[in-house]
């Protein structure tokens, strides 16, 4: 298969290009050359999509195109090219207007209103632009898969969110103290390993699967996910669960960033965000590895990658929260 990856030099799109090469496909990547390099075996085209795809590229035939863009101008520019190629457009679960309802998916959850102003400062611009990008793809490409990932994790993750947990739990082996665990151990959480998602995206392209899917792993209680991460990094820590009210009183913020506990979300407002129905994706060929394996490999990557991002509470901040200071 001649596979064009629009992107191909960062986290997910690079993993897609890697899988394509490993499966013997003829892979071309397109990037500005800022985020990283294409995998060995792929042909790298350097171009800025804000200036339009190069004519020389448009003249080349492809069987499948994978696009991870979040701006409508880039997607609009790309949808007219290669009308006979199968398209896999990587969207996001952030397209949904409902974050509270569990077990939902494309057929049941309402979407945000589409937005076509790429420069908008709307707080929901990311999800709304992706809705508009999806619409552009569906309208212009006869054979397309829309893939809406949940939280993508694993080696190479530039966000440092899931990475916080393997890093924090590995430290428990040496410091021996309690580990702050946020919210309620029964809270539903859900991740997908970047490598599993990449394998599935290439499979969808090969099979020319049409439709819209949430790309998520199994939804599990947070307590179990943290136990699995601990098992993956080889520790048996003592978790100290701290309820939402106490976290908020201590100035701890959800999800990601400074003073956050990554993966923690306010409930019940976000009961659905990490609890999407994974059955349709599984029926369409998605296979996911155990979280323990993802955690082990993420820690190995982190240790081998100076400067890799880890977000969340520092050790001193966590100790202060646990001490009630
Ligand atoms: N991370 C998550 O948990 C999560 C969750 C849900 C959905 N998603 C979606 O998953 C996808 C992730 O894709 P990704 O990991 O590959 O990262 P990305 O940041 O979405 O895409 C980066 C790739 O696009 C290239 N690129 C960016 N701007 C460009 C431009 N103007 N012209 C040409 N190339 C450009 C980058 O290379 P250069 O910078 O070198 O140009 C890089 O190869 C996205 O669609 C994202 O919305 C992510």
CA distance 221 to 275: 10
Who's near 281: CB < 8 A, 6+ residues apart? 200, 213, 214, 215, 216
The atom number, within ligand 1, closest to the CA of 68 reads: 45
Contact between residue 181 and residue 241 where contact means Cβ atoms under 8 Å apart: yes
CA distance 129 to 137: 12
Collapsing DSSP to helix, strand or coil, 242 comes out as strand
Please tell me the predicted confidence (pLDDT) of residue 175.
83
Tokens of 196: 């599993």
Please tell me the predicted confidence (pLDDT) of residue 111.
98
Please tell me the predicted confidence (pLDDT) of residue 137.
98
Task: Using the mean position of ligand 1's atoms as its centre, give its distance from the Cα of residue 10 in Å.
Answer: 7
Task: Using the mean position of ligand 1's atoms as its centre, give its distance from the Cα of residue 30 in Å.
Answer: 11
Regarding the beta carbon of 175 and ligand 1, being less than 6 Å apart is answered: no
Regarding the beta carbon of 149 and ligand 1, being less than 6 Å apart is answered: yes
CA distances from 120 to 17, 52, 123, 125 (A): 31, 20, 9, 6
What residues form DSSP beta bridges with 225? none
Regarding the beta carbon of 13 and ligand 1, being less than 6 Å apart is answered: yes
How do the domains of the chain map onto residue ranges? 2-152+193-215, 157-190+220-274+290-322
Task: Identify the CA nearest to 196 among candidates 278, 276, 137, 75.
Answer: 278
pTM of model > 0.85: yes
Q: Class for domain 2-152+193-215, per CATH?
A: alpha beta
Task: Using the mean position of ligand 1's atoms as its centre, give its distance from the Cα of residue 117 in Å.
Answer: 18
CA distance 149 to 121: 23
Task: Using the mean position of ligand 1's atoms as its centre, give its distance from the Cα of residue 13 in Å.
Answer: 7
Site to probe by mutation for ligand 1, drawn from 8, 9, 11, 12 as the one with most ligand atoms within 8 Å of Cβ, is 12
Residues of the chain with pLDDT under 70: none
Please tell me the predicted confidence (pLDDT) of residue 238.
96
Tokens of 291: 């979280």
Regarding the beta carbon of 262 and ligand 1, being less than 6 Å apart is answered: no
């Amino acid at each position: 298969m001649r596979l064009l990856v629009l992107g191909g030099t960062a986290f997910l799109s690079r993993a897609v290009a890697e899988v394509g090469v490993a499966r013997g496909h003829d892979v071309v990547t397109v990037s500005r050359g800022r985020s990283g390099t294409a995998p060995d075996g792929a042909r790298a085209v350097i171009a800025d999509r804000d200036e339009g795809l190069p004519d020389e590229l448009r003249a080349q035939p492809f069987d499948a195109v994978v696009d991870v863009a979040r701006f409508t101008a880039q997607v609009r520019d790309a949808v007219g090219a290669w009308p006979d190629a199968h398209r896999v457009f990587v969207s996001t679960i952030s397209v949904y207007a409902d974050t509270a309802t569990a077990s939902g998916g494309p057929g049941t959850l309402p979407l945000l209103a589409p937005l076509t102003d790429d420069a908008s400062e709307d707080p929901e611009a990311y999800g709304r632009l992706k809705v508009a990008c999806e619409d552009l793809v569906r309208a212009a490409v006869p054979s397309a898969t829309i893939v809406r990932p949940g939280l993508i994790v694993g080696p190479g993750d530039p966000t440092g969110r899931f990475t916080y947990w393997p890093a924090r739990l590995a430290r428990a082996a040496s410091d021996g103290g309690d580990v702050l665990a946020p919210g309620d151990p029964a809270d539903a959480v859900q991740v997908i390993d970047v490598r599993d998602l990449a394998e599935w995206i290439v499979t969808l392209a090969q099979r020319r699967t049409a439709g819209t899917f949430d790309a998520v792993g199994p939804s599990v209680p947070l307590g179990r996910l943290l136990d699995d991460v601990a098992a993956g990094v080889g520790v048996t820590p003592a978790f100290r669960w701290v309820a939402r009210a106490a976290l908020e009183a201590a100035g701890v913020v959800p999800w990601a960033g400074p003073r956050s506990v990554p993966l923690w979300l306010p409930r019940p407002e976000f009961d659905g965000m990490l609890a999407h129905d994974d059955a349709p994706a599984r029926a369409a060929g998605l296979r996911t590895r155990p979280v323990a394996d993802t955690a082990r490999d993420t820690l190995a990557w982190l240790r081998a990658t100076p400067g890799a991002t880890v977000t969340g509470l520092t050790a001193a901040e966590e100790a202060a929260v646990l001490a009630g200071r």
